Chains A and B, each alone.
Chain A
């Protein structure tokens, strides 16, 4: 195992704005690494720095053994990138987009034809490969971009929110393919995502907020930093309930997007006690929901924000679905 991505004090400013600051990362070969963060957290900027599209303002980064600032050509030779924003030529067909890619990466023609056919089948675009991209839906474009990023068999893959806008079965198919790729070819994958269940499947997850790394560990270890289970309590009077639980039950409630969020060691046992306590004080309890700790809770705890949840599958229980509190800051921290 060798280090494939390494950053030391990496930082990038846009004018006065510090978009990324003092980033120290070390990512091993074959690792599946997720970068989580709220909108504007600095994810795309980080990807830009690591893929040589942006020059660092401070610090340094090495990718595949080469320095991004002084050996950008070498770095580019070893990476594949799927950008967050659009990057296809809409006037060309799907096949022509791949053909352009293959030529500009100097792929041998037979290898290109074989890989292109394989990948177009994987992303289910084989039947429409000779249509101009202009006719494609958003999800189809995304799938084509993914196929293109994988085409030249890069050693390191950078995926900036790769599965946004994809339906669940396509996401699973792509995800399965990435997992296989990592196992068979030892490809290192660096991705940013808003889908927490994707981050859960990664080897390690970093959380970035305001350009700063606020956590970096395996998903299991990150979740272990929360005190066990999480109770979501929906009540009429959030402030009073919060005060009561703090004083009488020695709990540390935080205001979540949908009521109070409390970390407890032994959730199922504490529910009756909490409900009785609130009831006794005349605070009506509308719903209580128990959740095993998830990365989402880690995220909320560390950034004070719910992650933008454009989840394709409705999230569980409590009627909490769709997008939750994009901007608002949860209190109690």
Chain B
């Protein structure tokens, strides 16, 4: 337990020390919103199929998800950096159980991604979507699960690869499809079968689905959310927890076995 906390504490210390990184990652969601919201909504003006909310509001839950995924995947790279810069040896030669070390990494990555996710919540007011305390609590819960899923995925990739470039290649390759097929930019109802399959194996789809249901709960026309959703929020979260286990177990196993 103390090893887990020690790993977590170090990563958080490093994160909080890195001010520029916090600022850039704050600016990022704003930028996405501006691009997707403004750019795409002018293209789509006149469409009324979004339950009466503007396109920007429709995209907003996806941007929360994207921010978390982005942060989590790029935080998990710290495992690769630690290996590359030698610090991992200090950890691996210590009596800290490997399991605790791996879980500490997941905990720190998830915390950082969650923090970044929480920082995107004030944007809701800007978009005219005031959130109740209950909504915020639900969102934090969903974000925490998504952050854990993405961090575990990042850890899994990092244990399979040696260099930093290798990690970046894989992550960049994964990130776009995960985002585009998440339903962040368009409703998932009525997609062709093969695409539907890809959506179903995409954790981001369940996260976006859950986040959107909570964010738009008060704003969308009654019936819109129920008609366009994948699953009820609780089932989405369960599926996400399933993904977490599926990524975490092999990641921890590989981490423990490494030399």
Contacts and interface: CB of A to CB of B under 8 A. Distances in A.
Interface of A: 48, 51-55, 73, 76-77, 79, 81, 83, 85-92, 96, 100-101, 103-106, 148
Contacts of A103: 2-3, 5-6, 9
A272 to B, nearest CB: 55
B56 to A, nearest CB: 37
A157 to B, nearest CB: 12
Contacts, number: 66
A96 B13 contact: yes
B86 A91 contact: no
Contacts of A87: 86-87, 89-90
A154 to B, nearest CB: 11
Given A54-B259, A55-B259, A89-B10, A101 B95 contact: no
B97 interface: yes
Residue with the highest number of chain B CB atoms closer than 10 Å, among A76, A83, A103, A148? A103
Contacts of A85: 86, 89
A163 to B, nearest CB: 18
Contacts of A104: 2-3, 6-7, 91, 94-96
A73 B97 contact: yes
Residue with the highest number of chain B CB atoms closer than 10 Å, among A83, A89, A104? A104
A86 B85 contact: yes
B14 A81 contact: no
B259 A77 contact: no
A96 to B, nearest CB: 7
A173 to B, nearest CB: 23
Contact of A86 (B3, B18, B86, B93): B86
B209 to A, nearest CB: 37
A89 B162 CA distance: 19
Given A53-B92, A54-B259, A92 B13 contact: yes
A124 to B, nearest CB: 22
Contact of B95 (A77, A92, A96, A100): A77
A91 B94 contact: no
Residue with the highest number of chain A CB atoms closer than 10 Å, among B3, B7, B87? B87
Given A88-B87, A106-B2, 17 more contacts: A52-B93, A53-B92, A55-B259, A76-B93, A87-B86, A88-B86, A89-B14, A92-B13, A100-B6, A103-B2, A103-B3, A103-B5, A103-B6, A104-B7, A104-B94, A104-B96, A105-B95
A91 B13 CA distance: 9
B14 A91 contact: yes
B14 A92 contact: yes
B19 interface: no
B89 A53 contact: yes
Main secondary structure of the interface of A (DSSP, over half): loop
Nearest to B97: A73
A76 B13 contact: no
A88 B17 CA distance: 17
A89 B93 contact: no
Interface in B206-227: none
Given A90-B85, A106-B2, A100 B93 contact: no
Interface in B75-90: 85-87, 89-90
Contacts of A86: 85-86
A86 B82 CA distance: 11
Nearest to A73: B95
Given A86-B85, A88-B87, A53 B93 contact: yes
9 contacts: A54-B259, A73-B95, A86-B86, A87-B87, A90-B85, A96-B10, A103-B6, A103-B9, A104-B2
Given A87-B89, A89-B87, A92-B10, A76 B94 contact: yes
Nearest to A79: B93
A250 B13 CA distance: 70
A76 B95 contact: yes
A15 to B, nearest CB: 14
Nearest to B6: A103
Contacts of B87: 87-89
Nearest to A97: B90
Contacts of B92: 53
Contacts of B2: 103-104, 106
Nearest to A89: B87
B68 to A, nearest CB: 23
A55 B258 CA distance: 10
A19 B90 CA distance: 23
A78 B87 CA distance: 20
Nearest to A51: B93
A61 B97 CA distance: 21
A76 B5 CA distance: 19
A55 B2 CA distance: 26
B6 A91 contact: no
Contacts of B3: 103-104
Name the 6 nearest CB pairs between A and B, nearest first.
Answer: A103-B6, A87-B86, A77-B95, A86-B86, A76-B95, A104-B94
